[in-house]
């Protein structure tokens, strides 16, 4: 996601991000799917997610289960999980990290984290549910495993091509730029899928999907926004419009959004 909220893997602290990159790339010896020799298996995704989650809990102050923010987050998370098929294989968990960063993310296999910096800016349970549904879609559709597989394939292909063509350093830089552009398009596709999943998951659990649009509207007002063509996510305005169009097309009557107990009422 991740953010601000949806700039998930780019806005963690630099030291944590370096540790995650090491763990996610060279740490484990993955068991690949029989259909895709580069694809990380579901069991390995779960194991990896648990390992990285343990690192995160050691680095950040994790709020205790008695904290109202943790209780609300877990109640919403489990309510969404109750709408998933009984055959779900992932090991979900929901924790709150006490940090001013405006962020939320889900790791491969199911561990999900919200920062207090984000929760303090949200106004309703429905906003949390929309973001939660978005992040859980990344887990269920195995976006990280797919990205890892595609990255490995491109690295293998480009290494072979560079050796065969004897590309010089400048040429290699151009190849690296091309890879980044491929990642840009791919990430936007997954983010669009996660937005749709956020809409479906929160509405299926009885929340108002307008909450997801409202969360994006709040994020859009935060400083530091990049132009869409420089970002690996669709613009907030496009995401908001798409969600609100889906609400209209559904023809459903959604419940009034539930205010969060710690949220400051609008003036």
Q: What is the pLDDT of residues 112-138, one digit of tens each?
A: 999 999 999 999 999 999 999 999 999
| Max CA separation in the chain (angstroms) | 65
Q: Is 135 a catalytic residue?
A: yes
H or E stretch at 2? strand 2-3
| pLDDT at residue 63, as a whole number | 98
**What is the 3-class SS of 18-68, one letter each residue?**
HHHHHHHHCCCCCCECCCCCCCECHHHHHHHHHHHHHHHHHHCCECCCCCH
- Cβ atoms of 107 and 49 within 8 Å: the answer is yes
Confidence of residue 149 (pLDDT cuts 50, 70, 90): confident
The proportion of the chain whose per-residue pLDDT surpasses 70, expressed as a percent, equals 66
| pLDDT at residue 87, as a whole number | 75
Confidence of residue 148 (pLDDT cuts 50, 70, 90): confident
Pick from 222, 197, 214: nearest CA to 258 = 214
Least confident stretch, 12-26, 54-68, 105-119, 243-257: 12-26
Q: What is the pLDDT of residues 40-75, one digit of tens each?
A: 788 888 988 999 999 999 999 999 999 999 999 999
Confidence of residue 174 (pLDDT cuts 50, 70, 90): very low
Please state, in angstroms and as integers, the Cα–Cα distance from residue 179 to each residue in 2, 155, 172, 175, 196, following that order: 21, 9, 11, 6, 26
- Cβ atoms of 104 and 114 within 8 Å: the answer is yes
| Average per-residue pLDDT for the chain | 78
Model confidence at 91: pLDDT above 60: yes
Alpha-carbon span 194 to 147, nearest angstrom = 14
Model confidence at 237: pLDDT above 80: yes
The alpha carbon dihedral of 229, 178, 42, 98 has a sign of negative
Model confidence at 156: pLDDT above 80: no
What pTM was estimated for this model as a whole?
0.77
The residue from 135, 191, 226, 228 that is catalytic is: 135
Pick from 161, 183, 182: nearest CA to 172 = 161
| pLDDT at residue 265, as a whole number | 66
Mean pLDDT of 139-159: 73
Confidence of residue 182 (pLDDT cuts 50, 70, 90): very low
| pLDDT at residue 173, as a whole number | 45
More confident: 214 or 235: 214
- Cβ atoms of 25 and 40 within 8 Å: the answer is no
């Amino acid at each position: 996601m991740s953010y601000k909220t949806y700039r998930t893997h780019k806005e963690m602290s630099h030291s944590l991000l370096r540790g995650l990159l090491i763990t996610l790339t060279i740490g484990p010896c993955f068991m690949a799917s029989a259909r895709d020799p580069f694809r990380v298996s579901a069991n390995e995704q779960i194991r990896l997610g648990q390992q990285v989650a343990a690192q995160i809990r050691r680095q950040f102050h994790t709020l205790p289960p008695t904290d109202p923010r943790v209780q609300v987050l877990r109640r919403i998370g489990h309510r969404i999980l109750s709408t998933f098929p009984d055959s779900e294989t992932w090991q979900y968990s929901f924790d709150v990290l006490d940090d001013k960063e405006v962020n939320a993310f889900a790791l491969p296999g199911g561990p999900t984290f919200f920062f207090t910096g984000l929760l303090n800016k949200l106004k309703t349970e429905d906003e949390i549910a929309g973001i939660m549904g978005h992040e859980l879609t990344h887990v269920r559709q195995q976006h990280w495993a797919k990205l890892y597989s595609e990255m490995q394939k491109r690295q293998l292909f480009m290494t072979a091509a560079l050796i065969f063509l004897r590309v010089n350093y400048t040429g290699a830089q151009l190849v690296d730029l091309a890879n980044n552009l491929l990642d840009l398009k791919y990430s936007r596709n997954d983010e669009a899928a996660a937005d749709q999943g956020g809409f479906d998951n929160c509405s299926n659990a009885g929340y108002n999907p307008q909450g997801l649009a409202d969360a994006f509207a709040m994020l859009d007002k935060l400083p530091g926004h990049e132009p869409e063509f420089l970002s690996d996510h669709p613009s907030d305005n496009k995401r908001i419009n798409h969600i609100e169009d889906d609400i209209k097309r559904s023809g459903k009557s959604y419940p009034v959004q539930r205010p969060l107990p710690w949220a400051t009422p609008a003036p």
